[in-house]
Structure 1
Amino acid sequence: MRTHFCGLVDETLIGQTVTLAGWTDVARNQGGVCFIDLRDHEGIVQVTVELDNAQVFAIAASLGYEDVLQVEGVVRARHAVNDRLRTGKVEVIASAITVLNKAAPLPFHAHENPGEETRLKYRYLDLRRPQMQRMQRTRIRLVQALRRYLDARGFQDIETPILTKATPEGARDFLVPARMHPGEFYALPQSPQLFKQILMVAGFDRYYQIARCFRDEALRADRQLEFTQLDMEFAFVGERDVQDFVEQMIRAIFAEVIDVELAAPFPRMSWAEAMRRYGSDKPDLRIDLELVDVAELVKDCGFAVFTAAAHDAEGRVAALRIPGGASLSRKQIDEYAAHAAKYGSKGLAYIKLSEAGEVASPIAKFFAQERLAALIAHVGAGNGDIVFFGAGGYNTVCDFMGAVRLKAGKDFGLVSDGWRPLWVTDFPMFEWDEQAQRFVALHHPFTAPAVDDIAQLRAHARTAVSRGYDMVLNGNEIGGGSIRIHRPDMQSAVFELLGIGQQEARAKFGFLLDALNYGAPPHGGIAFGIDRIAALMAGTDSIRDVIPFPKTTGAQDLMTDAPSPIPDEQLAELHVQVRGGEK
């Protein structure tokens, strides 16, 4: 049907007859001549139809946007070169045009940028747009490069089950009724975690998989119900073995796919330091702003919000200096307070220093003059700056002050260019869930603690550190992993600390505990978010742009109208009864 791709026609083909196939990107009838920009997945070439070929000219004059064509013609050098096109030095003089399919009037044109709802409803048209083609190709090159890199280094690509056992310990599982086992269900995997650990027990040593994963959770720009991970696992390794290997891999992949040289080596930062300095366990180091602890300077002031947090062993009072921030109006300051409230803040105090050095602040009255001056000096504020303060529980203050830091960095143009990767290490082993009154795992229940002594872990569970690690790039966690628990007694102890009793542990994870009993080697691994890395490489804020058929934030597929009701007869076959109202 075609001899060449449109976007690959060049000067080497001048004088030759070619057959092309593609879509009408633009058709221009200029009276004595018609010009067609013919597009396929490789690009655009100009097709010229001259008036002396009356039959072909009539077809060309009738063409509309996105009509599908087959064109035969001779390649000729263009008189007016178009430097914006790879094919801009040549054109194809059409001798025959066949309309393979007429396109109906379009809801939008390939060169427009419609609203996201329209884009997702007509995703096939959206994906034809040049910028979407570019982003999808970036993702394709990323996956190809990862496979080549790992295949060449002895990793084994092993598929793990999609229909598996429900073991909810975090996000909700998607459940699948088991028709042949009435009343029982499979779950779609949130990750291949347990299977890849069992592959290490089975002696496969180095595993990887480009894995589809599923989590029934709220969506946002960087999260989907179904997503793709690069999962990896290594036997007989420690933290640095895993980290050093995958760091080299990520540097190589960025260089190959988008010609970017990342720092070598990546800096390392403990979780505690990241939270203290940046209020985040995935700090964006392109923003040169840091939180400063001021509890010692405010514990005796007259402002009860500060003093309560300063005297609380689990509290924090933190300050953030924003250079040039004195330009903020009261309305804009209120917007920062509203932004902080989304992350748990009950109020955002501030001190504004005018260019003349005058202090404007609703909290200044609570400080003696010399103590206020000492506070301002401690945070490094100068004329023209604003200082925001947050007080409350330590992690809550980190969350909302970290969010204020990111907003200020963007608002004031303080995000530097380039790529700033780092490792965040030494995560807490557990978090205390006040509502459930129990510990929950910060990474997952299979992450090994830094201490190898069970009694010591039990005695110091609140402060225990794990052997977990995350790779962060420009404020995005692109990979997370850990050294795993390989001893059954330690795994049982961790389950116990998480409030998972022996009976529940056997019901949910008995197969893992059994496997660990039969000579499990020390092992560890990591998983990288393919969607997130592809989005960073493509320069988009939303992973939906690099996923061919994503869901909306309302968890719907607008193109196929999924999810949708299921007929009663089909539900009966699955032994499922639906309760609740109509959609």
Structure 2
Amino acid sequence: MYRTHNCGELRKKDVEKKVVLSGWVKKIRNLGSLFFIDIRDYFGITQLILSKELVTKNFFLGKEFIIRVKGKVVERLSKNNNIPTGEIEILVSHIDLLNSSLSPPFTIENETDGNEEIRMIYRYLDIRRDFIKNNLITRHNLVLEIRNFLSENGFLEIETPILINYTPEGARSFVVPSRIHTDKFYALAQSPQLFKQLLMIGGIDKYFQIVKCFRDEDSRSDRQIEFTQIDCEMSFVKEHDILAFFEHFIKHIFIKMKNVQLDSFPCISYSNAVKMYGTDSPDIRFDMSFVELNDLVKNKNINFLKTQELVIGIKIIKYHNYHDKMNCFLKKIENGNFFWIKYLYDRTLLSSNQNFLNEKIINIFVKYFEALPGDLLFFSYGKKIKTREELGKIRLKIADFLKLKNSKIFKPLWIKDLPLLEWEEESKRYKAVHHPFTSPKEEDVHLLERYPKKIRSKSYDLIINGIEIGSGSIRIHNKNIQNIIFRHLGFSRKEIESRFGFFIKAFEYGVPPHGGIAFGLDRLVNLLEGNKNIKNFIAFPKNNYGKDIMINAPSILEKEKLKELHLR
């Protein structure tokens, strides 16, 4: 047999047992007459003691060689409290070489010397590191918890097609040529959206799926071109039903995975999120919400500001504790539409622009913000959209400087009432903010024909620590409204029939009110573990250019294959 025990299970109670272990050589220490070898498998590490003759008379041993040993468990004289097997070692009586290994291109340790590129080329070696292996175990446990929770709450797991029809909406799709059907193509599903709605029409009450999705977009540290969604849909529900249930769901996950009790999730509208934080994905672990100052600067007749479209500010409490770092940061942005006021502990007031900030104006702002010694006031002004965006970015940079982004603190919130449509200047048509099947709010339906840009949707995004973890909506279940939305998106009747005819036809047979949500599994597990790169939780990820550099994908097809697919 290859093993009687694994390399992580033997303890002091097993002393005197005769055992067989198999695994990879992690470390070799040659003490002359004796060799100490650490052997590693999936379960852990065990130290071996071998005589010099036992090793050298049979074969050469190197790191990552696979060996099988027979021997006796003995108590270890110098204990290693860093590993579970640290009280014992194996006195080896026989050793077999199962397979040799080249010298690894990087050290297979948690603190490795391998950069990301080399580790992705040799990902199978990277997985041997506890860091990656344990991440994959965490992901497995999370998926198991999700599947059990949803199943116990009446959700039915159903698979939907991956190869679907191409639809000219949303992100770019990967297309797949058909060998059998000349000049026709499938598309890889960006999400199971239409199919899960059809399941609701089919009478399924609650559906979920842990599903691979594909989008032909640029990869980055928090996004892959193929990613995994926790996809859910429910019939006969309103917004508050979905928000209540999935708040319960997320709280359950955090308790089970992190033993963290989350507070109730606040809800704010999309428009208020942008007004208060300059983004629709605000991080609320720290405050620093925007204060609008247009009325103040007009009432106080502050000339250089009262003509601006928007003037906003934030207060940074006890900035002085990070004085040197913040000063370095402030110098980098002095040339923008910004200015700042420092309230020093000796009650001295300093400002970034002495040309237009006199003592009177400085005191107006200090009094308005109720600033205290040690605080910093930061201001931005200009066009509304750009001013909010810029101050939103600066707010996050300041939070980094002040180390306010504690990865062990989790602050979720729901962002609601996103716009239904947004105008694309380049294509001269509207684009769905979520997707074309999102329902407008009842109170905005009257705006559908004439003022589509003003319509709010029955949508909701779950943001945790500034990261979008989930996104969903109540769906349209009225055929007329669905057709109006398609028209606003610029689809002709022929395109609607070609791309969505099967879906529109289903509306003739009784569509229940329904809605759902999808969570990014990769992002969720990454957030739970306080990491900054979702690649660390994916067994075989793509790089930031969408390439798998281990298998060299994508690659060029031979001419014969292209001809078979009718592409030549």
TM-score (norm: length of structure 2)? 0.92
Distance 1:289 1:336, change over 3 A: same
Percent identity over paired residues: 40
Instruction: Write out aligned runs for 1:30-41 (5 A).
Output: 30-41=31-42
Distance 2:77 2:10 in 1: 16
Counterpart in the other structure of 1:390: 380
**What amino acid sits opposite 1:403 in the alignment?**
K
Distance 2:326 2:78 in 1: 54
Counterpart in the other structure of 1:77: 75
Contact 2:447 2:454 in 1 (8 A): no
CA RMSD of aligned residues (A): 2.3
Contact 1:294 1:375 in 2 (8 A): no
Distance 1:43 1:59 in 2: 26
Contact 2:22 2:66 in 1 (8 A): yes
Contact 2:341 2:362 in 1 (8 A): no
Contact 2:19 2:72 in 1 (8 A): yes
Distance 1:360 1:390, change over 3 A: closer
1:457 CA drift (Å): 3.1
**What amino acid sits opposite 2:315 in the alignment?**
R
Q: 1:94 aligns with which of 88, 92, 103?
A: 92
Distance 2:295 2:430 in 1: 30
Counterpart in the other structure of 1:411: 401
Q: 1:374 aligns with which of 364, 367, 376?
A: 364
1:255 CA drift (Å): 1.9
Contact 1:201 1:515 in 2 (8 A): yes
Offset from partner CA, 1:118-160 (integer Å, 9 cap, x none): 1111111111111111111111111111111122222111111
Distance 1:487 1:433 in 2: 26
Contact 2:469 2:519 in 1 (8 A): yes
Counterpart in the other structure of 2:28: 27
Q: 2:315 aligns with which of 294, 315, 321?
A: 321
Matched, 1:400 2:390: yes
1:192 CA drift (Å): 0.6
Distance 1:327 1:91 in 2: 52
Distance 1:308 1:161, change over 3 A: farther
**What amino acid sits opposite 1:102 in the alignment?**
S
Counterpart in the other structure of 1:68: 66
Distance 1:571 1:504, change over 3 A: same
Question: For 1:198, what is the secondary structure of its paired residue?
Answer: helix
Offset from partner CA, 1:363-383 (integer Å, 9 cap, x none): x53466534432343344454
Distance 2:467 2:436 in 1: 23
1:177 CA drift (Å): 0.8
Counterpart in the other structure of 1:266: 265
Instruction: Write out aligned runs for 1:178-217 (5 A).
Output: 178-217=178-217
Offset from partner CA, 1:56-108 (integer Å, 9 cap, x none): 56558x32111111122222222222111011122222122111111101211
Instruction: Write out aligned runs for 1:509-520 (5 A).
Output: 509-520=500-511
Instruction: Write out aligned runs for 1:154-173 (5 A).
Output: 154-173=154-173
Distance 1:336 1:100, change over 3 A: farther
**What amino acid sits opposite 2:254 in the alignment?**
F
Distance 1:443 1:395, change over 3 A: farther
**What amino acid sits opposite 2:156 in the alignment?**
Q
Instruction: Write out aligned runs for 1:295-310 (5 A).
Output: 295-298=294-297, 301-303=302-304, 306-307=305-306, 309-310=308-309
Counterpart in the other structure of 2:339: 350
Distance 1:562 1:406, change over 3 A: same
Distance 2:44 2:231 in 1: 34
Matched, 1:249 2:249: yes
Distance 1:540 1:336, change over 3 A: farther
Distance 1:258 1:80 in 2: 34
Counterpart in the other structure of 1:313: none
**What amino acid sits opposite 2:86 in the alignment?**
G
Question: For 2:509, what is the secondary structure of its paired residue?
Answer: coil
**What amino acid sits opposite 1:404 in the alignment?**
I
1:327 CA drift (Å): 4.4
Contact 2:105 2:114 in 1 (8 A): no
Distance 1:389 1:438, change over 3 A: farther
**What amino acid sits opposite 2:154 in the alignment?**
G
Offset from partner CA, 1:173-206 (integer Å, 9 cap, x none): 1011112222221110111111101111011111
1:334 CA drift (Å): 4.8
Counterpart in the other structure of 1:48: 49
Contact 1:284 1:473 in 2 (8 A): yes
Distance 1:98 1:168 in 2: 60
Question: For 2:132, what is the secondary structure of its paired residue?
Answer: helix
1:261 CA drift (Å): 2.4
Distance 1:252 1:454, change over 3 A: closer
Contact 2:471 2:519 in 1 (8 A): yes
Distance 2:48 2:260 in 1: 36
Contact 1:319 1:379 in 2 (8 A): no
Question: For 1:242, what is the secondary structure of its paired residue?
Answer: helix
**What amino acid sits opposite 1:394 in the alignment?**
K
Range moving further from structure 2, 432-441 or 237-246: 432-441
1:385 CA drift (Å): 4.2
Distance 2:383 2:502 in 1: 39
Distance 1:393 1:566 in 2: 50
TM-score (norm: length of structure 1)? 0.90
Instruction: Give 5+ residue unaligned stretches, structure 1.
Output: 311-315, 338-345, 578-583
Distance 1:190 1:334 in 2: 44
Distance 2:69 2:487 in 1: 70
Distance 1:309 1:517 in 2: 53
1:474 CA drift (Å): 1.4
Contact 2:444 2:456 in 1 (8 A): no
1:564 CA drift (Å): 1.2
Contact 1:352 1:384 in 2 (8 A): no
Offset from partner CA, 1:299-350 (integer Å, 9 cap, x none): 56443xx55542xxxxx3322333426646776335357xxxxxxxx93411
Counterpart in the other structure of 1:281: 280
**Aligned pairs, number:** 557
Distance 1:452 1:166 in 2: 33
Q: 1:335 aligns with which of 324, 329, 332?
A: 332
Distance 2:252 2:436 in 1: 32
Contact 2:343 2:371 in 1 (8 A): no
Distance 1:387 1:169 in 2: 43
Distance 1:145 1:157 in 2: 14
